[in-house]
Chains A and B, each alone.
Chain A
Amino acid sequence: DTAVSQTPKYLVTQMGNDKSIKCEQNLGHDTMYWYKQDSKKFLKIMFSYNNKELIINETVPNRFSPKSPDKAHLNLHINSLELGDSAVYFCASSQVGGAYGYTFGSGTRLTVV
Chain B
Amino acid sequence: KNEVEQSPQNLTAQEGEFITINCSYSVGISALHWLQQHPGGGIVSLFMLSSGKKKHGRLIATINIQEKHSSLHITASHPRDSAVYICAVFGPSQFYFGTGTSLTVIP
User: CB-CB < 8 A to A104: which residues of B?
Assistant: 35, 42-45
Residues of B near any A CB (own CB < 8 A): 30-31, 33, 35, 37, 41-45, 48, 50, 84, 86, 88, 90, 93-95, 97, 99-100, 102
User: CB-CB < 8 A to B31: which residues of A?
Assistant: 98-100
Question: Interface code A5-34, partner B: CB below 8 Å = 1, 0 otherwise?
Answer: 000000000000000000000000000010
Question: Can you show 21 pairs from A to B with CB atoms below 8 A apart?
Answer: A41-B102, A42-B99, A42-B100, A43-B86, A43-B88, A44-B97, A45-B94, A45-B95, A48-B94, A90-B43, A98-B31, A98-B95, A99-B30, A99-B50, A100-B31, A102-B33, A102-B88, A103-B45, A104-B44, A104-B45, A107-B43
What is the predominant secondary structure among interface residues of chain B facing chain A? strand
CA distance A101 to B97 in the complex (A): 15
A55: Cβ under 8 A from any B Cβ: yes
CA distance A87 to B101 in the complex (A): 19
A110: Cβ under 8 A from any B Cβ: no
> For chain A residues 51-100, which have a beta carbon within 8 Å of chain B?
55, 88, 90, 97-100
CA distance A55 to B53 in the complex (A): 32
User: CB-CB < 8 A to A45: which residues of B?
Assistant: 94-95, 97
Q: Separation in Å of the A20 CB from the closest CB of chain B?
A: 20
Across the interface, B48 reaches (CB within 8 A) one of A55, A101, A109, namely A101
Residue ID in chain A nearest B43 by CB atoms:
A104
User: CB-CB < 8 A to A109: which residues of B?
Assistant: 41
A111: Cβ under 8 A from any B Cβ: no
Q: B42 touching A106 by the CB < 8 A rule? A: yes
Interface centre among B33, B35, B86, B95 (most CB of A within 10 A): B95
CA distance A100 to B50 in the complex (A): 9
Residue ID in chain A nearest B2 by CB atoms:
A42
